[in-house]
């Protein structure tokens, strides 16, 4: 057993970055498999803070190969800026590769992202405005420009002209000025020259590593309920954050995956629009936001906060066939006398025990709560389960029982060492 997928089990921002950093140190290869710079991972290592948006957190380990997978959409200037920022903090980085199959994000994608949002009016999704949706739209429309074409000076000028002609027609529909070809070509050729040495067919490398039994970590971005197919559509991102996305975005089949860990917070958060049954629009919600510093890494937006929703989490365990859960931010809840967890939904047609596919139905469910005893004190010094207060352990046990999924790891602070490994066998086998 040597391959592991790390997936966000809720709506993203579950603190996957820390886990990828911790487990990445034990891996030979870390591959990000979906999304783009809509994601934001904060990693604190040896007292230094790193903010990653595209680069896998594995980069902080010099002996680990980090790969941006073919399922990603990559903003070249964002990537170069992130590399520069990271190198300014530490020179001791692992090798980075970019899949030649990944798609490139252009300025017209960002512009269209904002224009499409504006056009949605009240129904806006609340995107990160990074052009992610429009870049995936082009991929599906078979208009996208892949990394292999982007770094080929003989093909890129022609491809850009073809695509830009179409995109400028779109912009005209929105009464916007066309984007000028020559300056865009010049700017992007400059980026391509810098990224060319990193672009390779990564799929055979990954397949070979899996075959040789090397430790390969597939790093998810965003979260299960932002998945284009399995999330709360249309309030989703345009890629596949779920575990199945690890196969689509890296070139391995489902039988190559040994373990899947789902990272969930001890409560729930969501950024952007869309239904959120356990959302707390009150003082407790604000308290959680402040205690947990729940503000977006990418956009700085305050995250919507609420109680742990076990109906959602159980669905996530099944959608991702999770081997285990990683419960993060348990420390944040310290000080609340009582906690609520949703164990069912009430609907006008009676109680339900699953996540309805229909958005309107989901938007109108009312959670049925179970009240649990809270705990006090700073948990950040706890290093094993027995160090945790009894009611925190009872909380974790209830999560396990309800979701029928064992807790593998508990995180009680942002630092690498603030981690309790409960079941090591669920990590690498």
Which residues are marked as active site?
13, 41
Stretch that binds ligand IMP, among 36-44, 84-92, 286-294, 312-320 (CB under 6 A): 36-44
* 125 vs 199 by CB, closer to ligand IMP: 125
Task: Output helix, strand, coil percentages for the chain, rounded to the nearest 5.
Answer: 40, 20, 40
Q: What stretches of 256-402 adopt beta strand conformation (E)?
A: 259-265, 268-270, 304-306, 308-309, 324-328, 338-347, 350-352, 366-373
* 191 vs 235 by CB, closer to ligand IMP: 235
User: Per DSSP, what are the bridge partners of residue 66?
Assistant: 30, 96
* 66 vs 269 by CB, closer to ligand IMP: 269
* 261 vs 422 by CB, closer to ligand IMP: 261
* 103 vs 215 by CB, closer to ligand IMP: 103
| 292 lies in the site for ligand IMP, by CB under 6 A | no
**Quick one: CA torsion of 83, 84, 89, 92, rounded to 10 degrees?**
50
| 34 lies in the site for ligand IMP, by CB under 6 A | no
One residue of 222, 224, 250, 320 binding ligand IMP per CB under 6 A: 222
Stretch that binds ligand IMP, among 56-64, 125-133, 331-339, 413-421 (CB under 6 A): 125-133
* 61 vs 304 by CB, closer to ligand IMP: 304
- Compute the least distance from the CB of residue 294 to ligand IMP, in Å: 11
Q: Are 223 and 13 in contact (CB under 8 A)?
A: yes
Q: How far is CA 327 from the centre of its chain?
A: 15
- Compute the least distance from the CB of residue 231 to ligand IMP, in Å: 9
* 245 vs 375 by CB, closer to ligand IMP: 245
| 82 lies in the site for ligand IMP, by CB under 6 A | no
Q: Which residue, judged by CB position, is nearest to ligand IMP in the bound state?
A: 272
| 127 lies in the site for ligand IMP, by CB under 6 A | yes
Query: Which residues have a Cβ under 8 Å from the Cβ of 280 and sit 6 or more positions away?
Result: 288, 305, 306, 307
| 237 lies in the site for ligand IMP, by CB under 6 A | yes
One residue of 2, 12, 256, 325 binding ligand IMP per CB under 6 A: 12
- Compute the least distance from the CB of residue 270 to ligand IMP, in Å: 7
One residue of 271, 326, 382, 408 binding ligand IMP per CB under 6 A: 271
- Integer CA distances (angstroms), 150 to 63, 154, 191, in order: 28, 10, 9
SS3 for 46?
coil
How many chain residues interact with ligand IMP (CB under 6 A)?
20
Site for ligand IMP in 149-208 (CB under 6 A): none
SS3 for 360?
helix
| 38 lies in the site for ligand IMP, by CB under 6 A | yes
Alpha helix stretches (DSSP H) within 25-150: 76-89, 107-120, 132-140, 147-150
- Compute the least distance from the CB of residue 160 to ligand IMP, in Å: 23
| 132 lies in the site for ligand IMP, by CB under 6 A | yes
* 191 vs 225 by CB, closer to ligand IMP: 225
Query: Which residues have a Cβ under 8 Å from the Cβ of 242 and sit 6 or more positions away?
Result: 7, 220, 224, 227, 230, 319, 320
**Whole-number Å distance between alpha carbons of 170 and 164:** 10
Stretch that binds ligand IMP, among 68-76, 145-153, 220-228, 256-264 (CB under 6 A): 220-228
Q: In terms of DSSP bridges, do strands 29-32 and 216-219 run parallel, antiparallel, or are they unpaired?
A: parallel
Helical (H) or strand (E) element with 420:
strand 419-421
- Compute the least distance from the CB of residue 235 to ligand IMP, in Å: 6
How many CB atoms are located within 10 Å of the residue 396 CB?
20
Classify the phi-psi angles of 184: left when phi > 0, otherwise alpha if psi is within -120 to 50, otherwise beta: alpha
Stretch that binds ligand IMP, among 33-41, 202-210, 279-287, 377-385 (CB under 6 A): 33-41
Residues of this chain that interact with ligand IMP (CB under 6 A) are 12-13, 38-40, 125-128, 130, 132-133, 221-222, 226, 235, 237-238, 271-272
């Amino acid at each position: 057993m040597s391959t592991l997928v790390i997936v966000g089990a809720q709506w993203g921002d579950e603190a996957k970055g820390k886990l990828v950093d911790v487990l990445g140190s034990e891996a030979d290869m870390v591959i990000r498999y979906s999304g783009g710079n809509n994601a934001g991972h904060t990693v604190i290592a040896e007292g230094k803070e790193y903010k990653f948006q595209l680069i896998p957190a594995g980069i902080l380990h010099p002996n680990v190969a980090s790969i941006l997978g073919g399922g990603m959409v990559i903003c070249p200037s964002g990537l170069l800026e992130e590399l520069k920022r990271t190198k300014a903090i530490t020179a001791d980085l692992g090798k980075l590769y970019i899949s030649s199959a990944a798609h490139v994000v252009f300025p017209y994608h960002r512009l269209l992202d904002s224009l499409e949002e504006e056009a949605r009016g009240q129904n806006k999704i609340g995107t990160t405005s990074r052009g992610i949706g429009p870049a995936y739209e082009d991929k599906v429309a078979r208009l996208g420009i892949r990394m292999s074409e982007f770094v080929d000076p003989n093909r890129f000028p022609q491809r850009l002209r073809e695509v830009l002609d179409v995109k400028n027609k779109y912009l005209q529909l929105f009464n916007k000025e066309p984007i000028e070809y020559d300056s865009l070509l010049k700017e992007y050729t400059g980026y391509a020259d810098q990224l060319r040495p990193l672009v390779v067919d990564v799929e055979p490398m990954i397949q070979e590593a899996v075959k040789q039994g090397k430790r390969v970590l597939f790093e998810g971005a965003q979260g299960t309920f932002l998945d284009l197919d399995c999330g709360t559509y249309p309030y989703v991102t345009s890629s596949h954050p779920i575990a199945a996305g690890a196969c689509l975005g890296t070139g391995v089949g489902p039988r190559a995956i040994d373990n899947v860990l789902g990272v969930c917070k001890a409560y729930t958060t969501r950024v952007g629009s869309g239904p959120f049954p356990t959302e707390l629009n009150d003082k407790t919600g604000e308290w959680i936001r402040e205690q947990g510093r729940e503000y977006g890494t990418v956009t700085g937006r305050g995250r919507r906060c609420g109680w742990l929703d076990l109906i959602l989490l159980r669905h996530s365990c099944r959608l991702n066939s999770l081997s285990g859960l990683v419960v993060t931010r348990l420390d944040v809840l310290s000080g609340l006398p009582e906690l609520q967890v949703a164990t069912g939904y009430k609907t006008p047609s009676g109680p339900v025990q699953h996540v309805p596919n229909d958005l309107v139905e989901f938007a109108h469910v009312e959670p049925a709560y179970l009240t649990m005893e809270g705990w006090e004190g700073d948990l950040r010094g706890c290093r094993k389960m027995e160090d945790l207060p009894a009611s925190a352990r009872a909380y974790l046990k209830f999560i396990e029982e309800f979701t029928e999924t064992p807790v593998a790891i508990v995180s009680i602070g942002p630092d690498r060492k603030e981690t309790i490994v409960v079941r090591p066998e669920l990590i690498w086998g």
